[in-house]
A and B are shown apart, each in its own frame.
Chain A
């Protein structure tokens, strides 16, 4: 497999220099490393700049609605548990419009890798503040700065029961690739929250901003099995910003809890001749 095998050869519609390119590259690198074929992969996208990856990544794709990539991905995974399923979302998409799906799908531990392009603005709709914008962030819709505090995706994912919780930085491609590959490989619900500079609209959270601050948790021998420590780390955001795996655990996936899925996926089960006669006996 080569990186071109996952390339649809279409014209990109991202701003030149957009960090979405980096994520697109690393997703393909990770897929090659994992030896996944395009037809074995389903990628479900939300609506936003991130979602344009649908037109570029060669695989089964579903460009869903704003905020709804997770339930679509979850339904597909339940119908065919043999698929590798990833969800690609934006911060407005996943932590605003689709926040309840984020929490509720994390709880299920369905085997889905969620990659969030967290640029801390609504990119596609021209730069309004998003749920991850910093307090005080000025934009067209927040002329006096954002009044509320940003959501903390890492802490939310840990408390909601996600079994793989990580953060990466789009400016560190080898590390980003590693996080994405680990997340896809992980059996269960895996989050990669990607710090993604929006070079057009976000003048605060720039490459420079992150280069100065990010450090790798794994360089400090961080224990990824301790939920309380992970929670503490999740709140570190200032001069130092941790990237890497915050928390990892093995737990039965949602799909595994159905005995009716043990032998065949839903898609493989025959439907031509279901016998419902015994159901009628309840009603005599």
Chain B
């Protein structure tokens, strides 16, 4: 279990998520790694919301047990007191909640959150800041860490807001320091400050990556869990010379992105499975017309409207095969915030170079959880692959879809002299003219698909995390990487050696290396957040290997590390 696991709960509208992110950042500035996990129903007011922050030298995922619970209402105590470890504590609003139990040596720290909020000159909502102040004191961290975060966080909202929040947090901090301070058993001490750490979600990292990659056009229609990415792109559009379009539906969004890309702007759209269902026809058109476009698909619990605010990895097969006919495509599924950044940059470059549609597949757990990441290395130069006017002038008999050796043909854009062509959703010849000629049809299909041959060499190899020498090799993708890594640490403490094969690129699929790793493994276990083992099926299809042990979870929740560790022990016990 991490050194400190803190959880705040209350109704939607209490500022739960905001409080969680601020607490996580304060701990990060104190030198720790954090993982921030949010749970909320699909409601704007009411309903039970929580935000959990796990803090340790190394921490990858949410925790099953907690040791500091902040209850802004009674329901939080009812639901979460049972998750407290021995000697855990409950901070509760003595103005709103009548008292907490003392079972299992649980400590209770009543604090007049509402009264202190009022004294700070703020509305009732700043109770959350009083509570964070108190939490920081119990955690044994200096107020300065919180002060710095609050100043940065509220700067844009004006001096008055900054000072109200600071006063509220300080009142909470002082109240806690004066009452029961040394009673709390899970204090952490500040480490050397590391200014190289970020605390961000998959959505945030994809947004930064897209802007770095030169995304110039973004169209989207809001849908959980990628709405925050849409907001991020919209917020930064003007500053970075991006056109953001609040599309009237997903069909418009992707068709606009394709049109913008055809005319020479790197383009992106983002949606969840439901919206992607509407985009499917245009996804195929991007493949047919060889127009680059990057699509973020953030999955939630399906099928249909499903559970909008809960997680699942149920759309892998869908994005691999979506749209009629056969065409080359890229599907990448990053597993943490860093990978969200680097894969987004990479996928933009590959999509443009190979002139294929590309999908970044993230699950809700990755899209919306906050996690620590090293500051991204952002110095990379972004290559361009569109013909220059001078190059085009020198070309004789320019054919946009020429049957080239690599399958990649030179690409002009409208406005250029000598580069006329038809981007045609019908099958076409080298100029783009409609063609039914069997020879042309065959050659054009082969030309397009030939791109996959060099593409597969260019994408990075799948990663084996941990030592080659392991009793068991775990296989995971997307955010399941995170509890899997945590499970490996847990198992190591018990003397069990496990490593993790993480697959990011689902298409094209690096079958050779994956097969080699799996054949060399002493035992294998795949963990997936879906009902049918979609990656397991893909691995079997591509390598012939049927991973014997499958751990599948499909109740809307991502795995806890303990669940994976327990399964490993069960599998190894059966040997």
Give A residues with C-beta under 8 Å from B: 8, 10, 38-40, 42, 44, 47, 52, 54-55, 58-65, 68, 71-80, 82-83, 100-101, 104, 258-261, 264, 266-267, 269, 271-277, 279-284
Sample of 6 further A-B pairs with CB below 8 A, known A101-B251, A104-B252, A264-B241: A63-B424, A63-B426, A79-B261, A100-B252, A271-B214, A276-B211
A74, A100, A279: most-surrounded residue (chain B CB, <10 A): A279
Q: List 29 A-B contacts (CB under 8 A).
A: A8-B433, A39-B418, A39-B419, A40-B415, A44-B259, A55-B422, A55-B434, A59-B420, A61-B422, A61-B423, A64-B425, A65-B255, A71-B255, A75-B245, A75-B258, A75-B261, A79-B260, A80-B263, A82-B415, A100-B249, A101-B255, A259-B238, A260-B242, A266-B243, A267-B216, A272-B214, A279-B211, A280-B376, A284-B152
Q: In the bound complex, do residue B264 and residue A79 qualify as a contact, i.e. CB atoms below 8 Å apart?
A: yes
Residues of A within 8 A of B259 (CB): 44, 62, 71-77, 79
Q: Contacts A62-B423, A63-B423 known; A267 to B264 CB distance under 8 Å? A: yes
Q: In the bound complex, do residue A61 and residue B421 qualify as a contact, i.e. CB atoms below 8 Å apart?
A: yes
Interface residue B200 (Cβ < 8 Å from any Cβ of A): yes
Contact of A83 among B207, B384, B415, B423 (CB under 8 A): B415
Q: In the bound complex, do residue B263 and residue A267 qualify as a contact, i.e. CB atoms below 8 Å apart?
A: yes
**Which chain A residue lies CB-closest to B383?**
A272
Complex CA gap A68/B291 in Å reads 15
Which of B100-108, B281-289, B536-544 participates in binding chain A? B281-289
Complex CA gap A277/B377 in Å reads 9
Complex CA gap A121/B219 in Å reads 33
Interface residue B378 (Cβ < 8 Å from any Cβ of A): yes
Q: Which of B415-441 contact A (CB under 8 A)?
A: 415-426, 432-434
A105 to chain B, nearest CB (A): 8
Q: In the bound complex, do residue B262 and residue A62 qualify as a contact, i.e. CB atoms below 8 Å apart?
A: yes
Which of B67-75, B172-180, B191-199 participates in binding chain A? B191-199
**A-B CB proximity, top 8 nearest:** A271-B214, A75-B259, A75-B256, A71-B255, A267-B264, A72-B259, A79-B263, A60-B414
Complex CA gap A9/B432 in Å reads 14
Q: How large is the interface on B (under 10, 10 to 19, 20 to 34, 35 or more residues)?
A: 35 or more
Q: In the bound complex, do residue A39 and residue B420 qualify as a contact, i.e. CB atoms below 8 Å apart?
A: yes
A55, A62, A104, A281: most-surrounded residue (chain B CB, <10 A): A62
Q: Which of B155-179 contact A (CB under 8 A)?
A: none
Complex CA gap A71/B281 in Å reads 14
Q: In the bound complex, do residue B219 and residue A75 qualify as a contact, i.e. CB atoms below 8 Å apart?
A: yes
Interface residue B413 (Cβ < 8 Å from any Cβ of A): yes
**Which chain A residue lies CB-closest to B254?**
A71
A259 to chain B, nearest CB (A): 7
**Which chain B residue lies CB-closest to A67?**
B251
Residues of B within 8 A of A71 (CB): 251-252, 255-256, 259
**Which chain A residue lies CB-closest to B149?**
A284
**Which chain A residue lies CB-closest to B28?**
A284
Q: In the bound complex, do residue A62 and residue B422 qualify as a contact, i.e. CB atoms below 8 Å apart?
A: yes
Q: In the bound complex, do residue B375 and residue A260 qualify as a contact, i.e. CB atoms below 8 Å apart?
A: no
Q: In the bound complex, do residue B240 and residue A80 qualify as a contact, i.e. CB atoms below 8 Å apart?
A: no
Contact of B432 among A61, A273, A277 (CB under 8 A): A61
B345 to chain A, nearest CB (A): 10
Contact of A64 among B255, B382, B384, B417 (CB under 8 A): B255
Residues of A within 8 A of B213 (CB): 271, 274
Residues of A within 8 A of B289 (CB): 62
Q: Contacts A68-B255, A71-B252 known; A266 to B217 CB distance under 8 Å? A: yes
Residues of B within 8 A of A272 (CB): 214, 381-384
A67 to chain B, nearest CB (A): 8
Complex CA gap A69/B260 in Å reads 13
Q: In the bound complex, do residue B378 and residue A276 qualify as a contact, i.e. CB atoms below 8 Å apart?
A: yes
Complex CA gap A261/B216 in Å reads 11
Interface residue B257 (Cβ < 8 Å from any Cβ of A): yes
Q: In the bound complex, do residue A100 and residue B212 qualify as a contact, i.e. CB atoms below 8 Å apart?
A: no
Contact of A274 among B199, B214, B263 (CB under 8 A): B214
Interface residue B228 (Cβ < 8 Å from any Cβ of A): no
**Which chain A residue lies CB-closest to B431?**
A8
A81 to chain B, nearest CB (A): 10
Residues of B within 8 A of A100 (CB): 248-249, 251-252
Q: Contacts A42-B414, A62-B289 known; A79 to B258 CB distance under 8 Å? A: no
Residues of B within 8 A of A277 (CB): 378
Q: In the bound complex, do residue B256 and residue A78 qualify as a contact, i.e. CB atoms below 8 Å apart?
A: yes
Residues of A within 8 A of B265 (CB): 78-80, 266-267
A180 to chain B, nearest CB (A): 20
Contact of B243 among A64, A72, A258 (CB under 8 A): A258
Q: In the bound complex, do residue B248 and residue A274 qualify as a contact, i.e. CB atoms below 8 Å apart?
A: no
Residues of A within 8 A of B152 (CB): 281, 284
Q: In the bound complex, do residue B423 and residue A75 qualify as a contact, i.e. CB atoms below 8 Å apart?
A: no
Complex CA gap A34/B241 in Å reads 31
Q: In the bound complex, do residue A68 and residue B257 qualify as a contact, i.e. CB atoms below 8 Å apart?
A: no
Q: In the bound complex, do residue B422 and residue A58 qualify as a contact, i.e. CB atoms below 8 Å apart?
A: no
A276 to chain B, nearest CB (A): 5
Q: In the bound complex, do residue B208 and residue A280 qualify as a contact, i.e. CB atoms below 8 Å apart?
A: yes
Q: In the bound complex, do residue A60 and residue B421 qualify as a contact, i.e. CB atoms below 8 Å apart?
A: yes
Q: Contacts A63-B425, A64-B425 known; A269 to B382 CB distance under 8 Å? A: no
Residues of A within 8 A of B240 (CB): 274
Q: In the bound complex, do residue A65 and residue B241 qualify as a contact, i.e. CB atoms below 8 Å apart?
A: no
Complex CA gap A266/B266 in Å reads 9
Q: In the bound complex, do residue B285 and residue A75 qualify as a contact, i.e. CB atoms below 8 Å apart?
A: no
A168 to chain B, nearest CB (A): 25
Complex CA gap A47/B282 in Å reads 13
